[in-house]
């Protein structure tokens, strides 16, 4: 995983609340066996009409969305299915951070595992960002701040270990593998079929 330390970008706003992972990446695209290439199907049913043509009024199809690396979404993004294809699709499309006031648990975990930064903001900052799409913000991962165009820095929570992994570009599997001796001890004490 590549280190994620700073994200400076204009934002794109998708104010819908409860954006579920079926919207982010519909199930019919989940038969793939690699992680690559999901970006073209991101929000497929909102982005394209039934004939497969881009809907010009959908925010990600508008010219000003090009190059935006920060998605500001309504409350409770990522609810529903555990499909990690959702963060893969967001990243493949070009997003490095998702901003909301609430993240569904599994989606949040899946984002962090892939270096897609979930930025949990207070309601008033979030509301301002939703209302001002296209502004340039600066996210400092190490200090967990998001700096608004007026220079005001707003903090957001990222769990310590997840932050360590993001900033250093390491993944959690290495840490788990380093606990091999402890896992073996646990297995011995709990027999072949614990519980």
Partner 1 sequence: MATPPKTMFEKVWDAHVVVPETPDTPAVLFIDLHLTHEVTTPQAYTELRNRGLKLRRPDLTLATMDHSTPTRTEQVFGGAPIAVDSAAKQVRQLEINAREFGVELFDLRDARRGIVHIIGPELGITQPGKTIVCGDSHTSTHGAFGALAFGIGTTEVGHVLATQCLLQRKPKTFAINVIDDLPKGVTAKDLILAIIGRIGVSGGTGHVLEYRGRAIEKLSMDERMTICNMSIEAGARAGMIAPDATTFEYLKNTPRAPRGADWDAAVARWSRLPTDAGAFFDRSVDIDAASLVPMVTYGTHPGMVAPITGSVPASGDAVFEKALKYMGLEAGEPIGNVPVNNVFVGSCTNGRLSDLRNAANVLRGHKLAQGVKMLVVPGSQSVKRAAEAEGLDKIFTAAGAEWRESGCSMCLGMNGDLVPAGHYSISTSNRNFEGRQGVGARTLLASPQTAAASAIRGRVTDPREFS
User: Which residues of this protein are in contact with partner 1, per CB under 8 A?
Assistant: 16-18, 20, 22-23, 26-28, 30-35, 45, 50, 75-76, 79-84, 102, 104-106, 109-110, 113-114, 159-161, 164, 171-173, 175-177, 179-180, 182-183, 186-187, 190, 192-195
Q: How far is Cα 27 from Cα 29, in angstroms, rounded to an integer?
A: 5
Q: How far is the CB of 138 from partner 1 (least distance, A)?
A: 26
Order of strands, edge to edge, in the sheet holding 145-147? Answer: 117-120, 97-100, 70-73, 6-14, 136-140, 145-147, 153-155
First to last CA, the chain: 34
Q: Measured from the CB atom, is 62 or 113 closer to partner 1?
A: 113
- Taking the least distance from each CB to partner 1, the nearer of 102 and 138 is 102
**Smallest distance from partner 1 to CB 113, Å:** 4
Of 81, 84, 103, the residue nearest 92 (C-alpha): 84
Shortest Cβ 144–partner 1 spacing (Å): 15
């Amino acid at each position: 995983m590549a280190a994620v330390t700073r994200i400076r970008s204009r934002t794109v706003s998708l104010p819908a609340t409860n954006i579920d992972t079926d919207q982010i990446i519909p199930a019919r695209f989940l038969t793939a066996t690699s992680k690559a290439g999901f970006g073209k199907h991101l929000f497929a049913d909102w982005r394209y009409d039934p004939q497969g043509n881009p809907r010009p009024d959908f925010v990600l199809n508008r010219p000003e969305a090009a190059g935006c690396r920060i998605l500001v979404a309504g409350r409770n993004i990522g609810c529903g299915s555990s499909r990690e294809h959702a963060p893969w699709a967001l990243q493949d499309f070009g997003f490095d951070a998702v901003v909301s006031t609430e993240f569904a648990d599994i989606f949040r975990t899946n984002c962090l595992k892939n270096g897609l930064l979930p930025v949990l903001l207070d309601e008033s900052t979030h509301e301002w960002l939703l209302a001002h799409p296209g502004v340039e913000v600066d996210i400092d991962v190490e200090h967990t701040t998001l700096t608004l165009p007026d220079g005001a820095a707003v903090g957001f929570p990222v769990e310590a270990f997840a932050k360590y992994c993001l900033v250093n570009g390491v993944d959690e599997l290495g840490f788990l593998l380093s606990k091999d001796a402890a896992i073996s001890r646990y297995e011995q004490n709990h027999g072949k079929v614990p519980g």
